[in-house]
């Protein structure tokens, strides 16, 4: 099932609606502050057996913001993990480049995580590949160039419920260093 463009003035038909991406799960949001350990800040749940055939996949978008004390300045690393636990123990699907925060205290600096992944094998030893992009305005007064991440084949049991988990790791613990997810969606493609 691919993404289908909808044209202005186009008649709405059942086949058109059936070809649109299907929302699988909303993002369960979270945040991390005053910690230098990797922490879960958002999770999508993929139901057991939802990945029924080779070539099935998902696209996702996560909207997040960061606050920082600006001292250092601090850095943060964002990861997307895929597995059954929904924790930092799951396999890394993507690791995005280290973000160096602005010098000086800042609040509500926006970033988005966009990506997709497909399964080339399904079952207890399913295999996923994909690509993701991080866009953000955390590092300067203007939007920074997007950072791309490409996943290698990772194993995931598609017969079990899977979690697509967003994590963040600050290099310095501070009550002013906060990374949070606001909203997001996971779509079958």
**Residue ranges of the domains in the chain?**
26-188
Question: Residue written as tokens 């070539």?
Answer: 55
Residue 34: pLDDT over 60: yes
Q: Higher-confidence residue: 143 or 173?
A: 173
Alpha helices (runs of H) in the chain, residue ranges in sequence order: 14-18
Rounded CA separation 182/64 (Å): 5
Contact 87, 40 (CB under 8 A): yes
Rounded CA separation 67/164 (Å): 24
Question: Which CATH number applies to 26-188?
Answer: 2.60.120
> What is the model's pLDDT at position 113?
92
Contact 79, 32 (CB under 8 A): no
Residue 176: pLDDT over 60: yes
> What is the model's pLDDT at position 166?
96
> What is the model's pLDDT at position 140?
64
Q: How far is CA 162 from its chain centroid?
A: 14
- pLDDT single digits (tens) 88-136: 999 998 888 788 888 888 899 899 999 999 999 999 999 999 888 888 8
Q: Higher-confidence residue: 29 or 52?
A: 29
Select from 175, 184, 104, 189 the least CA-distant residue to 141.
104
Average pLDDT for the chain: 88
- pLDDT single digits (tens) 58-82: 999 999 999 999 888 898 999 999 9
From first CA to last CA, the distance across the chain in angstroms is 5
> What is the model's pLDDT at position 126?
94
What's the Cα-to-Cα distance from 73 to each of 58, 98, 134, rounded to whole Å? 35, 12, 20
The helix/strand count (H/E) of the chain reads as 1, 14
SS3 65: strand
Residue 47: pLDDT over 70: yes
> What is the model's pLDDT at position 20?
67
DSSP string spanning 72-116?
A: S--EEEEEEEEESS-STTSEEEEEPPPEEPPSS-EEEEEEEEEEE
């Amino acid at each position: 099932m691919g993404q289908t463009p909808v044209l202005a003035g186009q008649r709405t038909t059942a086949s058109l609606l059936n070809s649109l991406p299907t929302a699988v799960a909303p993002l369960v949001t979270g945040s991390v502050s005053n910690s230098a350990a990797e922490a879960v800040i958002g999770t999508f749940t993929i139901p057991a057996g939802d990945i029924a055939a080779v070539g099935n996949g998902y696209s996702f978008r996560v909207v997040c913001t960061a606050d920082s004390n600006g001292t250092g300045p601090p850095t943060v690393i964002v990861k997307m993990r895929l597995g059954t636990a929904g924790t930092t123990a799951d396999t890394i699907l993507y690791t995005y480049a280290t973000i160096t925060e602005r010098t000086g205290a800042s609040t509500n600096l926006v970033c988005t995580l966009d990506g997709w992944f497909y399964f080339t094998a399904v079952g207890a030893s399913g295999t996923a590949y994909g690509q993701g992009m991080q866009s953000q305005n955390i590092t300067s007064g203007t939007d920074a160039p997007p950072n791309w991440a490409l996943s290698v084949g990772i194993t995931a049991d598609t017969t079990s419920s899977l979690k697509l988990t967003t994590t963040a790791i600050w290099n310095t613990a501070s009550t002013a260093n906060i990374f949070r997810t606001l909203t997001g969606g996971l779509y079958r493609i």
